[in-house]
Amino acid sequence: MQIQTGVEAGVEGALLKADVRELDFYYGAFHALKRVSMPIYDHRVTALIGPSGCGKSTLLRCFNRMHDLYPGNRYAGGGIVLYPDDTNLLAPGVDPIEVRMRISMVFQKPNPFPKSIYENVAYSLRVRGMRNKSELDDRVESALKGAALWSEVSNRLKELGANLSGGQQQRLCIARALASDPEIILFDEPTSALDPIATASIEELITELKEKVTILIVTHNMQQAARISDFTGYMYLGEMVEFGVTDQIFIKPQKKATEDYITGRFG
């Protein structure tokens, strides 16, 4: 992989938040990520694109150690270093729960818990031991405001999360991910189950969220990556083919393979 010169241009003022270093990952015998390297910049949106099965979701799920939940998955070399404390998220001594407390995630299909709207958002605070009612109330309200959902649900916090529309449910999940004040939020194709209007509102929200938090998003919608991200990585067959500033990846890709994919000749 080669880091383009364009990255330096886009970096102005942006600090490194995390660094994927020559990461190898296996599902059983299947080599799913092959020496992947990529920087993640603080308070920027980084998008991962590529055809199905290219490893983009696999890479995303390394960031919160989701792979640890299933047997047979193996981080085989390299790592993901989180700054400013230089912690390798994948080091054997690092507790995956600690990693998930720092890096939260929004899934492909909205997955609110079958609990009330309030309890859905409060859950990520409760696992952190927060019991004080007024503090919980404040944090839930600010998370729902941050997810642009407060005005729609402020008078129905006791209702089930599942009673909301699909787009609202996804914003509820964003509020849940936001409530614990994470350093990075991972988005795994967050709009693939939503209609165009709900998609637009989620995209707008993601653009606003980068004020508060660093964002890594997997999308199979290239226009979406072009619209909302600052940096884009193109992956194919478990390798990072090209990484760079989004405008440059889409306007002047350095690799033939990237160009073929984004122009629709392949993929």
Nearer to another protein by Cβ, of 72 and 263: the residue is 72
Q: At closest approach, how far in Å is the CB of 88 from another protein?
A: 19
Residue 113 structure tokens: 């818990």
Among positions 70-89, residues that touch another protein (CB under 8 A) are: 71
Q: How far is the CB of 181 from another protein (least distance, A)?
A: 12
Count the alpha carbons within 13 Å of 60 in the hemisphere toward its beta carbon.
Answer: 28
Provide the strand spans (E) within 28-152: 30-41, 45-49, 73-82, 87-88, 103-106
Q: Which stretch binds another protein (CB under 8 A): 176-184, 203-211, 238-246, 253-261?
A: 176-184
Among 176, 190, 228, 232, binds another protein (CB under 8 A): 176
Piece in contact with another protein (CB under 8 A), picked from 51-59, 122-130, 199-207, 211-219: 122-130
Residue 33 corresponds to which tokens in the numbers above? 């990520």
Instruction: Decide: is 64 part of the binding site for another protein (CB under 8 A).
Output: yes
The answer to whether residues 68 and 239 touch, using CB atoms and an 8 Å cutoff, is no
Q: Which of 63, 58, 171, 67 is nearest to 110 (CA)?
A: 171
Q: Contact region for another protein (CB under 8 A) — 14-22, 36-44, 118-126, 203-211?
A: 118-126
Q: Say whether residue 27 binds another protein (CB under 8 A).
A: no
The answer to whether 252 contacts another protein (rule: CB under 8 A) is no
In this structure, which amino acid lies at residue 135?
A: E
# residues near another protein by CB under 8 A: 27
Q: Does 254 bind another protein (CB under 8 A)?
A: no
Please, where are the H alpha helices in 180-216? 196-209
Count CA atoms within 13 Å of residue 165 on its CB side. 11
Sign for the CA dihedral angle at 102, 105, 111, 117 comes to positive
- Residues contacting 223, CB < 8 A, separation 6+: none
Residues that bind another protein (CB under 8 A): 64, 66, 69, 71, 97, 100-101, 104-105, 107, 109, 111-114, 123-124, 126-128, 160, 162-163, 173, 176-177, 180
